Amino acid sequence: MIQVGIIGCGLMGTLHARTLHKLPGVRVAAVHNRTREKAEVLAAEVGATVYDTYEALLEQDLDAVWVATPDHLHVEAAKAVLESGKHLFLEKALATSTEGGAEIVAAGANRPDLKAMVGYPLRFAPAYRALHEAVTSEGAGKPIQAWSMRTHFLDPKRRVYDKYRDHYYDTPSWYFDEANAKGPIFSHGSHDYDLLMWMCGEIESVFAYGGTYLLPPGSVADAFIVSLRFAGGGIGHVSTPWVTRVEHDITGVATERLTAVNTDGQVLVKDDQSPERKITFAENDMWTRMNGHFIDCIENGRQPLISLADGLRVVAVSEAAYRSLKERREVAVDYSAVKRALGGGV
């Protein structure tokens, strides 16, 4: 039985706890949250014990810990998990700066015996996996152009419908705090930076446009577009705005010899030799697949699909995009923090 702890019992911590609770051979044994009330509600649901500090939680006999605190609180908690000798599942984004993220990556590099993964669930969604399989298949050729636009409508004064979890939730206040969160261009868009790098390779530079349109002045930028240049020569763009009342996802990649597009779970693939193929995915069990994958890595000694270094590369892209938005110019992505954290090699 894998014994699991949860640090952070908000939206994502609760989601992970409920998912893990249903997995065979897994027990959610310990939970901690800054406000005890949330922890007590979750503990009652999954049969866990509440601890008033994450330090106390880490003293327990646990195999792995899920860190699902707000992004700007990841660094110390993630490092403490690794230093306590426990496997680490860390919610995205890895951190809100490359400096902080590099501390986590270095802590992981110091404990190669432990498994560590960053939570980017889109890589486990059946439709996106089909997309990846098509564009990285033998004979597909180099990526030429890629795009990912996943629209949202977030308002701090109203509950939000989450299509990925099929429920309504109260938006955490820190989402709108630029000093801590930096907005969707940094955190929500990081899903898409990760997704497109998984399919198309490293992002070399970015150019962002955007601003604050519906949120109060002084809030984060709620609409944006980031143009991408890949190291392999291809181009792309990412946008995950919060101003769109219609929820709609479309992600695609055109390679030298085929095009694959995912539109709200319907994947179309077309090359020059075959008719267009259409695959529709009605169900999306990416949360179960992602958490089950990490449990399997722990039990069977496999390497997680998304490493801490992968998460830091995404932070480097997010940081460049945020800087480009502010400075209105193309910004090269700086991966030097990744190299330093890994001891000089990527």
**Residues in Cβ contact with 163 at an 8 Å cutoff, skipping those fewer than 6 apart:** 247
Count the helices and strands in the chain (H runs, E runs).
10, 17
Instruction: Report the share of the chain in percent with pLDDT over 90.
Output: 89
pLDDT higher than threshold 50 for residue 240: yes
For residue 1, the one-letter residue type is M
pLDDT higher than threshold 60 for residue 346: no
Give residue 218's pLDDT band: very low, low, confident or very high (50, 70, 90). confident
Number of Cα atoms under 13 Å in the Cβ half of residue 336: 4
Beta bridge partners of 81: none
Main-chain dihedrals φ then ψ at residue 184, nearest 5 degrees? -65, -25
- Smallest CA-to-CA distance from 91 within 22, 174, 23, 150 is with 174
Identify the pLDDT of residue 168: 78
- The mean predicted confidence, pLDDT, of the chain is 95
pLDDT higher than threshold 70 for residue 198: yes
The sign of the torsion formed by the CA atoms of 245, 174, 265, 163 equals negative
Residue-wise pLDDT for 298-342, tens only, equals: 999 999 999 999 999 999 999 999 999 999 999 999 999 999 988
Q: What would the mean pLDDT of 206-214 be, rounded to a whole number? A: 97
Give residue 204's pLDDT band: very low, low, confident or very high (50, 70, 90). very high
For residue 64, the one-letter residue type is A
Distance of CA 182 to the CA centre of its chain: 15
Residue-wise pLDDT for 258-276, tens only, equals: 999 999 999 999 999 999 9
Integer Rg of the chain from CA: 20
pLDDT higher than threshold 90 for residue 90: yes
* Nearest-5° Cα angle at 180, 177 to 186: 90
Contact 62, 42 (CB under 8 A): no
Identify the pLDDT of residue 344: 59
How many Å apart are CA 271 and CA 274, to the nearest integer? Answer: 6
Residue-wise pLDDT for 30-61, tens only, equals: 999 999 999 999 999 999 999 999 999 999 99
Q: What would the mean pLDDT of 74-94 be, rounded to a whole number? A: 98
Contact 120, 111 (CB under 8 A): no
Number of Cα atoms under 13 Å in the Cβ half of residue 58: 19
